[in-house]
Structure 1
Amino acid sequence: MTRVDPSFLKLQRNYLFADIARKVANFKDSHPDARVISLGIGDVTRPLVPAVISALHAAVDEMGDAAHFHGYGPEQGYAFLRDLIMEYDYKARGVDIRPDEIFVSDGAKSDVGNFQELFSRDSVVAVTDPVYPVYVDSNVMAGRAGDWTDGHWSRIVYLPCTRENDFVPAFPATRPDLIYLCYPNNPTGTVLTRAQLQGWVDYARREGCVILYDSAYEAYIQDADVPHSIYELEGAREVAVEFRSFSKTAGFTGLRCAYTVVPESLMVDDGRGGRVALNGFWNRRQCTKYNGCPYIVQRAAAAVYSEAGRREVMDVIRGYQRNASLLREAVSGMGLPVFGGVNAPYIWVGVPRGMDSWGFFERLLNEAALVCTPGVGFGASGEGYVRLTAFGSPADTEEAIARLRRLA
C-alpha cells in the first residue's frame, strides 16, 4: 500500500500565516464594514519601479519576436544578470564572488527550503529562536527534526534570541552541522555587528559547520558596522552559503527572483574520508529539479542595477524605512518595548503585561482592525511579542498608527 512520508505527518497542523489568514477572514465575515489594515505578513505594497516595468515590456516584446525569443535558459541564470550581481552586490563592496558561484532562482524561500537537500539526513540543525518557519519546517519534512515535544523539536538545536541577550545568539553547547542565520533578522528586525558575525564565521570554521545565511533584507541596513554580506568577513567563503532576494529590495514578491551564492571553496565531508564542494552539488540539484527563472523576470531584475533602477528602488526602500521609523515611535509611545525597525523593515513589539502573543493579536484585530504576527508563531522565545511590518502604503501606515494611539 502506498504511504506518505512519515516526516510530513509530524508537521504542525497549519503554517503560521495560514492561521492568521483564517482568523482575519473570520473577522471580515463578522465585520463586513471594517477596513482591515495588515501589518502582519511581510508582503510589499509599492508597485514595481519604472525602470523595471520598462525592462519587462522590452523583454515581453523580445519574446514575441522569433529573432529574439528565449526558450529554456540556463538553470544557473543568464550571464547578463549574474555579472551584474557580481559587480554591484559583491565587487563594489570589495568581495570576491565569481559568476559561476551565483545561482539565480525564483525566490529565496525556495532556495532556503531546498538547500538542506544537499546534506545527510542525520545532520544536526541549529536555528535561532524566534525563527523564520521555513528553516525548521523544511528540515522536519526531511526527517531531521526528531519529535515535537514541549514546544520544541527534539533534534533541532535552538539558539534563543531574547531581550536578555540583546537578541544575539550564543554559541550552542551541542555542535551542529548546519546553522541558519538571518540578518537583518526576520522576525525581530535586529542585526549582528561585524564583530558578532565574524564570531559565528570563526565558530563555523573551528567546528566544521556550514552557515546558511539569509540576507534577504540587506538593502535596509543603515548602520556602517553591520555587514551587507557575510562574505565581507574573513573566512566566510569556506563555511557560508548566502541567500539574497529581489522581493523586499525591488518589490518582486509577485514577480519572483532571487539568487544563492555557493562559493567553490565551501567544502564538506563526503562520508568516505574525502571532501567535496557544495557548488557542484547545488548546480547538479538545480539542473535536475529546476528549469530556471524566466527570461523576462531576469531582464527585470537586471534593470534594478541600472542607474535609474538603483535610484528608484532606493526611493521605495526609504519609504518603507520611514514607515518603520513612524511605527517604532508610535509603539514606543504606547509604553511598549520595541526592537528592530532601524536596519530592517520589521518591528518586534513586546505585548502589554498580562497578555500573550495571540491575545494581543486578537486585541489589535478586534479593537483596531489591525493585523500583526504573533511572535510565538516563530518559536518559544517569540512568546510575549508580535511582529509588525513596514511594508504598508504611507496612508495605511499613518492610519494604522492613529488606531494604535487610540488603543494606548
Structure 2
Amino acid sequence: MIRANPHYQKLNTDYLFSEIAQRIQAFQARRPDTALIHLGLGDVTGPLPAACIRALHAAVDELSCRDGFRGYGPEQGYGFLREAIAQHDFRVRGAPICADEIFISEGTKVDIGNIQALFATDLRVAIPDPVYPVYVDTNVMAGRTGPATGGRYSGLSYLPCTAANGFVPEIPDTPVDLIYLCSPNNPTGVALRREQLQAWVDHARAHQALILFDAAYEAFIRDSSLPHSIYEIPGAREVAIEFRSYSKTAGFTGVRCAYTVVPKDCIVRHLDGTPASAHALWRRRHQTRSNGVSYFAQRAAQALYTPEGRRQARALCDQYLANARTLRTGFQQLGLPCTGGEHSPYVWIDTGQDAWAFFDLLLDQAGIVCTPGSGFGRCGQRHIRLSAFNSAENTAEALERIAQVLA
C-alpha cells in the first residue's frame, strides 16, 4: 500500500487562489456576458520591457547556431547575471553580497517552499498574520504543525498584523527558530522601516534564529529611507536568507526567473550542535535538484540591469503604483480604511464585513474580482486585497462600478 504524506490532510482542501478561480468560473457560467475586471490575482498585465525582448531574441538566435548553442548551464546561474545582481541590487546600496552567494531559480514561490528541505521538522516557526499562504502551507506539508483549529495551525507562532500595530509584525515573547518576513508585505502593502528590520536582525542574532526575508516587491519602494534588502541592515548576513523575483517588477510571471541570496556567513546547526553553512547546504541541494534556469530567461533578466532596462522596468512599476494610488484614494473616499498602495502594488482594505461575503458582493454586483483577506489568515477577516496589476482604464472603471454598488 502506497501511503500519502499525512500532513497534506491538515491543509485546506483548496489553495486560496484555486477557490477564487472556481467562484469566477461558476459566475461566468451564470452570466457569460459580464466583462469581469480582475483585481485579485497578483499577475501582471503589461508587456515585457523592450530591453528584455531584444535580449530574448538575441539569446534565441545564439542557441540556433552551433557556435552559440548552450546546453545545461550552471545550476547556480550564469555568472553574467549573478554579478549584475550583486552589483546593482546590493553593493550599490551598501549591502555586502557576492555573486557566488546568489542562486538563480524559476521563482520565489518555488524557493520559499524548497528552502524547507534545509531545516529540521521540529523547528519553532513565526509567521505574520495575514501572510502569503505559501509560508504556512509549506510548513504544514513539511510536518512542522499540528492540525488547524479556528483557522490557525498548532505549532506555529502567529504574529498578528492589524491596524493597531500598523500592520507590522512584533517580535514574539517566546523564542522561535525560523522567522518569515515580507517587505513590502503581501498582502498589506506595508514596507518595514530600517529600525524595524534592525530590531528583527538583533533578535535573530541574540536567539540564533534565522529570518526568511521575502523582498519580491522591493522595486516598488519609492521612499529612499526604506531598505530594499535586509542585507542593508548590519548583522543580517549571519541570520537572513533573502528571496527576490522579476515576476512583478519586470513582468516575468510567464518567463520565470528569480533568485535567492544565501550569504556564506549564515550559519545553522546540525543535530549535535555543530555549525553548518546554510550556503553550502543550499548549494548542495541546488546541485542535486536543479538543472538551472533557461539561458534566454537569464539573458532577459541581465538586460534589466542596463540603463535602458532599469528605466523601462521602473516605468512599468510606476504604472502599477499609479493604479494602486487610484484604488487607495477611491476606497478612502468611499469611507473604507486602507493600507498599501504607496510602496506596493497591493491595497489592503477593511470592508467591515465578512471577507468572502464582500468578495461575492463585488463579483455578483460589480463584476470585480478581488482577493478575500481571510485567505491570508485570521487577521485578514473583514479585509480584501486589491491588485494594481491592470490598466489605468480598467482600474478607473472598476472604481466606478464599486462606487455604484457601495453607494
TM-score normalised over the length of structure 2 = 0.99
Counterpart of 1:134 in structure 2: which amino acid?
V
2:72 partner SS? coil
1:104 partner SS? strand
Counterpart of 2:39 in structure 1: which amino acid?
L
**For residues 7-406 of structure 1, what are the structure 2 equivalents within 5 Å?**
7-351=7-351, 353=352, 355-406=353-404
Conserved? CA contact 1:304–1:310, under 8 Å: yes
1:363 partner SS? helix
CA distance in 1, matches of 2:296, 2:192: 36
Counterpart of 2:32 in structure 1: which amino acid?
P
Question: Alpha-carbon deviation of 1:223?
Answer: 1.7
C-alpha RMSD of matched pairs (Å): 0.8
2:259 partner SS? strand
CA distance in 1, matches of 2:163, 2:335: 16
CA distance in 1, matches of 2:311, 2:222: 16
1:71 partner SS? coil
Counterpart of 2:147 in structure 1: which amino acid?
D
CA distance in 2, matches of 1:358, 1:95: 42
State which drifts further: 378-387 or 216-225: 216-225
State which drifts further: 15-24 or 171-180: 171-180
State which drifts further: 188-197 or 167-176: 167-176
1:113 partner SS? helix
CA distance in 1, matches of 2:267, 2:127: 21
CA distance in 2, matches of 1:357, 1:328: 18
Conserved? CA contact 1:328–1:347, under 8 Å: yes
Counterpart of 1:404 in structure 2: which amino acid?
I
Counterpart of 2:403 in structure 1: which amino acid?
R
Percentage identity across aligned positions?
53
CA distance in 1, matches of 2:258, 2:347: 24
1:102-133: CA deviations, max 9, x gaps? 00000000001110110001111110000100
CA distance in 1, matches of 2:360, 2:341: 23
CA distance in 1, matches of 2:359, 2:254: 26
CA distance in 2, matches of 1:225, 1:133: 29
Return structure 1 stretches of 4+ with deviation > 4 angstroms.
none
CA distance in 1, matches of 2:392, 2:150: 41
Conserved? CA contact 1:202–1:235, under 8 Å: yes
CA distance in 1, matches of 2:105, 2:127: 23
Question: Alpha-carbon deviation of 1:81?
Answer: 0.2
Counterpart of 2:399 in structure 1: which amino acid?
I
1:149-190: CA deviations, max 9, x gaps? 121100011000001111111111221110010000000001
CA distance in 1, matches of 2:39, 2:273: 51
Question: Alpha-carbon deviation of 1:12?
Answer: 1.0
CA distance in 2, matches of 1:311, 1:317: 10
**Contiguous gaps of at least 5 residues in structure 1:** none
Conserved? CA contact 1:331–1:404, under 8 Å: no
CA distance in 1, matches of 2:8, 2:358: 31
CA distance in 2, matches of 1:149, 1:30: 34
TM-score normalised over the length of structure 1 = 0.98
CA distance in 2, matches of 1:122, 1:273: 15
Q: How many residues align?
A: 406
CA distance in 2, matches of 1:326, 1:10: 39
State which drifts further: 143-152 or 94-103: 143-152
CA distance in 2, matches of 1:273, 1:390: 47
